[in-house]
Amino acid sequence: MPVLDPFIEPLRGTAAQTLIIALLMLSLLDVLMGSANAMFVQHDFSSHKFREGLIRKLSNLGVVIAADIVDGMLLGGLDLGYQPVLMTVTVSLALMELASLMEIYAEMHPEISAAPWYQMLVRSKDGINGEE
């Protein structure tokens, strides 16, 4: 359908496809590691928390779709040659997933919580959340 082409076009690029697949894989890994941590390390698995986590992952996907729509509008009238919104949103969400994976890993391995790189991650996250 020609009317949908501007919205499909941003997804045809190799970089966009790679980023979206990477984000989906990181999200899946985050869910799997978080579930394993809750079940086997923390012994505190909660289906309510699991559902909340899945809803957050789906909302991330919704933001990626919204970014694609914005990029489609830009490409439909203003061709910048790349997808600035989709790329920025997808990379930001992928970095959030990596930070989440590091937090889960540190919970599973408490000795890591004293590592300088982990302390830097905690301080940066606290700064973003306004918990300083």
CB 81 within 8 A of CB 66: no
| 83 SS3 class | coil
Sign of the C-alpha dihedral computed for residues 32, 36, 42 and 47 taken in this order: positive
Q: What is the DSSP letter of 7?
A: H
Look at residue 39 in the predicted model and tell me its pLDDT: 94
**Tokens coding 93:** 């969400």
State the pTM of this model.
0.61
The predicted-structure confidence for 66-116, as pLDDT tens digits, reads as follows 887 777 767 666 555 666 777 788 888 888 888 888 888 888 888 888 888
Per the prediction, the chain carries an average pLDDT of 81
